[in-house]
């Protein structure tokens, strides 16, 4: 069995039917306007969502991924589906490069945009990538294997204050102070090179009782390191306004997040465009004050129990979706 066939069997796209239904009106609006629909899959991964989009809709998909292995695998997998050949276009890069990806393929806008955030099943399952705390592997965690910064560099060179800040902020870990000091003390004897070594340091730093209620003691620290290595939150903060700008009027954007930090950034970007900016008491709402997007989901939507049973990794998924109704306003600076 080749690698792409194996990936197809392993991978269950999260909330697939709901995602397709949320994207459908934007694709329909393009068709009604006699325009060939274009969907951007910002996190191509193993291509599960993209393949389903191509099979359900007469449209083209631009698949973005920073992982060269994922791009190659998704291309091979989708190439095996004869009815979609030639309709997947790819871009090796981060999802804040949506306008560049569109322009590279001679396009100016997208009728649907999908973000399926976080680490992919493929990356978790490839042990040598070092994303998982459940088995020993090199401390890597790079989504783009051509990038310079890896988890080993963070763990072995960042000072204790930087480590504490990363683990507390990106991992929302209440024992960040203890874990950061434990890492620095351990590496004085010899550098930490594997996930197993790091897990053991964290186990010794975290009170034994904490694991009974908070899951694996290394879970939050590994999340924090992954976010730092891949600049995930900075990229997402830049990406969402650019995605909204790239959407056509009537187009839809769907964002699936898996932890509160991603969801907060998503909610903020959507709220900024979905509310009026008219000053309080202003007698008339001018065009420039009107909302530019319509929120489709009420709060966040979550997978059903059946979906979680089929794919346990979907359990933490939260979905938000919007439809673009007017040209977007410039995003406010968060600096």
DSSP, residue by residue, 179-216: HHHHHHHHHHHS---BHHHHHHHHHHHS-GGGHHHHSS
Write down the H helix ranges in the chain: 3-10, 16-32, 48-56, 68-79, 98-104, 121-125, 151-157, 160-171, 176-189, 195-205, 211-214, 219-230, 232-246, 260-274, 305-310
Rounded distance between C-alpha atoms, residue 127 and residue 64, angstroms: 23
- Integer CA distances (angstroms), 281 to 174, 275, 278, 286, 328, in order: 43, 15, 8, 13, 23
113-131: string of b/e by CB count within 10 Å (b at 16+)? bbbbbbbbbbbeebeebbb
Q: Is 48 annotated as a binding residue?
A: yes
Backbone angles phi and psi of 323, in degrees to 5: -120, 135
Please, are residues 58 and 28 in contact by the beta-carbon 8 Å criterion? no
Strand order in the sheet with 38-41: 88-92, 60-65, 38-41, 110-116, 247-257, 318-324, 293-295
Q: Is 305 annotated as a binding residue?
A: no
Q: Is 116 annotated as a binding residue?
A: yes
| Alpha carbon of residue 314 to chain centroid | 13
Q: Which residue has the tokens 């083209």?
A: 60
Q: Is 123 annotated as a binding residue?
A: yes
Binding-site annotation, residues for S-adenosyl-L-methionine: 47-49, 65, 95, 116, 123
């Amino acid at each position: 069995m080749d690698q792409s066939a194996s990936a197809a069997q392993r991978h269950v796209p999260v909330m697939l039917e709901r995602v397709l239904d949320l994207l459908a009106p934007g694709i329909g609006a393009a068709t009604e306007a006699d325009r060939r629909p274009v969907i951007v899959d910002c996190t191509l991964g193993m291509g599960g969502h993209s393949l389903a989009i191509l099979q359900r809709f007469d449209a083209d998909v631009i698949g973005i991924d920073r992982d060269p292995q994922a791009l190659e695998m998704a291309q091979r997998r989708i190439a095996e589906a004869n009815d979609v050949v030639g309709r997947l276009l790819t871009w090796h890069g981060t999802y804040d490069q949506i306008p560049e990806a569109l322009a590279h393929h001679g396009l100016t806008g997208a009728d649907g945009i999908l973000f399926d955030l976080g680490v992919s099943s493929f990356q978790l399952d490839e042990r040598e990538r070092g994303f998982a705390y459940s088995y020993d592997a090199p401390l890597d965690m790079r989504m783009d294997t051509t990038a310079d910064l890896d988890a080993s560099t963070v763990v072995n060179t960042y000072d204790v204050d930087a480590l504490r800040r990363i683990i507390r902020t990106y991992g929302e870990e209440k024992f960040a102070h203890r874990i950061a000091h434990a890492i620095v003390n351990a590496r004085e004897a010899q550098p930490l090179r594997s996930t197993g070594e790091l897990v053991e340091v964290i186990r010794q730093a975290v009170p034994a009782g904490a694991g009974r209620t908070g899951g694996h003691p290394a879970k939050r620290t590994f999340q924090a390191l992954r976010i730092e290595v891949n600049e995930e939150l900075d990229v997402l903060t830049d990406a969402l306004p650019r995605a909204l700008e790239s959407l056509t009027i009537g187009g839809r954007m769907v964002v699936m997040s898996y932890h509160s930090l991603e969801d907060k950034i998503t909610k903020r970007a959507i709220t900024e465009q979905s509310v009026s900016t008219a000053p309080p008491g202003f007698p008339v709402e001018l065009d420039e004050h009107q909302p530019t997007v319509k929120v489709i989901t009420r709060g966040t939507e979550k997978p059903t129990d059946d979906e979680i049973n089929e794919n346990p990794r979907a359990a933490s998924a939260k979905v938000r979706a919007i439809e673009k109704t007017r040209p977007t306003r410039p995003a406010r600076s968060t600096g």
